[in-house]
Amino acid sequence: MATNNIDTPVAGQAPQISIDLQIQHARLAPDSGEWIDFVFSASPLSGPDTGFMLWSENADGTPNRENEGKNWGNHHTFDYWKKRLWGAQARPHSAQTMRFFASLDYSDERRASNYVDIPLPKLPPPTELSARDGTLKVLITGRAHPGVSVRCSVGDRSTTVSTGDGRWQAVLEVPKGAHEVQAVVVGPALGESAPTRTQVVVTDPPHIPLRLQYPEENRKIERITRVTGSATPHSEIRASLGGGTATTKANAGGAWEVSKLQSDQSGPLTLLVDNLTTGEIVSRAVEVEYFPQWEVTHLFAGPIFNESGQVTRAGAVAEGRGEQGDTIQYSVRGEEPWTDLATVGEDLRWRFEHVAPPPPPPPFRMGRLYLRCPGDPLIRDYTVELQPPVITSPEEGAVTGPSVEFSGFAALKFDIELPDGVKQRVTPDKEHAWKVVLGPLAPGIHTVIARSAAANHKREHTRRTFLVEDVPGTDDT
């Protein structure tokens, strides 16, 4: 364990000044977390009254300047003789003690006094503790030492809350039955207090029939709507509308709300709500306002390759489907300003391409990008990925032998998923070209999938389907 040596300006000589440090009446500060109150004084054993500085020392010998006290702060030096009420953040020197010493000056941490070890005070247990049944939940309240934390436990379930000014509360979900509730005050420096205990009995919640309150029957609603109702307390509720689903839980009083239920269809639809806990189901006819249907099939940026290997170092491509004449817009933050990206054509497809070498900077890069179609209230959040690997050989629908040579171009290493589900890692060369032989494969139609090896790149991929012909005389095992 490191210690701070007595200040000795010249080796072999006694220090010019020696300080007698005294600390008394140490206790846990009543309103300040893990601060310790104490009374200290210092007196010079020899030399002039030049002042001193108070320090504490960690277990590894690291000194901490104690220059902020109970009644005034930032005193760089103190004169002698006077006793002061002081406060210091608890910094254990050992499991049971905190260590102090004095130096000659604010900026000089060399020890010029005796060490004084004071016992660390214990955190007091909670002084008040009560628990009441909240129908499959227990509401726990109490009072404890301010500025630390309380860990509440009921059986094998626990939670930790801040005591703030001393009053605290916690909620735990527990099964029905009789339970012991335990609360312990905890602090990072002073450990744990003794526990305070009480008892609580948790009962089954009363049955409340499943009801759907909003939206009302035949109401016209937007694509994204809220749904409210009532049910047996703490039961799990699922709402479904036009292919979209959302779940929630009824509160202790039985009220429940789905804040955002998204429909994938417009027009007259049936809103279905079922209680997954009790098995009850209710339904209601509603009409979802028209919104345009659109989707994204590709969205990538970075190096863009064509089948000849020509590369655009900083390109971007986005494409998808939609309704003729609709506009697709983008935003890098999901808020104004929104910029037009592409318009859906007669073939019900839209495409944006930024690949002409050498191009100006593309409008978006790899990362997060938000897209929307005016008229649709839904803003979609996408990840812009790398271009999927380009497969130049074999061609789509090609007829091959049992061993198939694949080749093409890719920006970085990628995985090829084989027909049996096994993945093979492929690394392109410095010219971004790659080649790999797969097989032997059994006769028949096969499909391989190539996609980036990056863990967060899941959408963009290239598929290639081919036929392995049955060669007479070969073993198909």
Tell me: do 63 and 153 sit in the same domain: no
In angstroms, how far is CA 107 from the centroid of its own chain?
Answer: 41
d(CA 171, CA 158): 9
Candidates 133, 135, 132, 131; CA nearest to 255 is: 135
Q: pLDDT tens, 75-95? A: 444 555 455 667 778 888 888
Report if residue 239 sits inside a domain: yes
Query: The domain that contains 103 carries what CATH number?
Result: 2.60.40
Q: pLDDT tens, 162-172? A: 988 899 999 99
Q: pLDDT tens, 90-149? A: 888 888 899 998 887 777 788 888 899 999 999 999 999 999 987 778 899 999 999 899
Full residue range of the structural domain in which residue 155 is found: 128-202
Tell me: do 376 and 400 sit in the same domain: no
Predicted pLDDT at 219: 96
Report if residue 324 sits inside a domain: yes
Report if residue 13 sits inside a domain: no
Tell me: do 27 and 66 sit in the same domain: yes
The pLDDT of 52-75, averaged and rounded, is 71
Tell me: do 353 and 416 sit in the same domain: no
Report if residue 413 sits inside a domain: yes
Q: How confident is the model at residue 66 (pLDDT cuts 50, 70, 90)?
A: confident
Predicted pLDDT at 361: 81
Predicted pLDDT at 1: 42
Predicted pLDDT at 157: 92
The pLDDT of 264-273, averaged and rounded, is 96
Q: How confident is the model at residue 17 (pLDDT cuts 50, 70, 90)?
A: low
Tell me: do 279 and 339 sit in the same domain: no
Percent of the chain clearing pLDDT 70 (strictly above): 89
Tell me: do 110 and 23 sit in the same domain: yes
Tell me: do 29 and 110 sit in the same domain: yes
Percent of the chain clearing pLDDT 90 (strictly above): 57
d(CA 409, CA 471): 30
Higher pLDDT, 298 or 459: 298
Rg of the Cα atoms in the chain: 36
Last-in-domain residue among 288, 304, 325: 288
Q: How confident is the model at residue 40 (pLDDT cuts 50, 70, 90)?
A: confident
Residue 234 DSSP label: T
The yes-or-no verdict on residue 49 having pLDDT over 60 is: no
Asked if 417 and 335 count as a contact pair (C-beta separation under 8 A), the reply is no
The yes-or-no verdict on residue 71 having pLDDT over 50 is: no
Predicted pLDDT at 252: 81
The yes-or-no verdict on residue 216 having pLDDT over 60 is: yes
Q: pLDDT tens, 223-260? A: 999 999 999 988 999 999 999 999 999 998 899 999 99
Instruction: Spell out the residues 6+ positions from residue 461 whose beta carbon is closer than 8 angstroms to its own.
Output: 388, 449, 450, 451
Overall domain count for the chain: 5
**Amino acid making up residue 330:** Y
Last-in-domain residue among 288, 320, 351: 288
DSSP 267-329: EEEEEEEEETTT--EEEEEEEEPP----EEEEEEEEEEE-TT--EEEEEEEEEEE--TT-EEE
Predicted pLDDT at 48: 54
Tell me: do 315 and 395 sit in the same domain: no
Predicted pLDDT at 109: 82
Tell me: do 320 and 377 sit in the same domain: yes
Instruction: Spell out the residues 6+ positions from residue 430 whose beta carbon is closer than 8 angstroms to its own.
Output: none
- Which residue's entry shows tokens 């379930």? 157
Query: The domain that contains 165 carries what CATH number?
Result: 2.60.40.10
d(CA 228, CA 261): 11
Tokens standing for 148?
Answer: 């630390």
Q: pLDDT tens, 440-449? A: 999 999 999 9
Question: What mean pLDDT is reported for the chain?
Answer: 86
Tell me: do 140 and 98 sit in the same domain: no
Report if residue 416 sits inside a domain: yes
Last-in-domain residue among 160, 179, 202: 202
Tell me: do 134 and 181 sit in the same domain: yes
Q: How confident is the model at residue 359 (pLDDT cuts 50, 70, 90)?
A: low
Report if residue 9 sits inside a domain: no
Report if residue 473 sits inside a domain: no
Report if residue 440 sits inside a domain: yes
Higher pLDDT, 4 or 160: 160
Tell me: do 303 and 371 sit in the same domain: yes
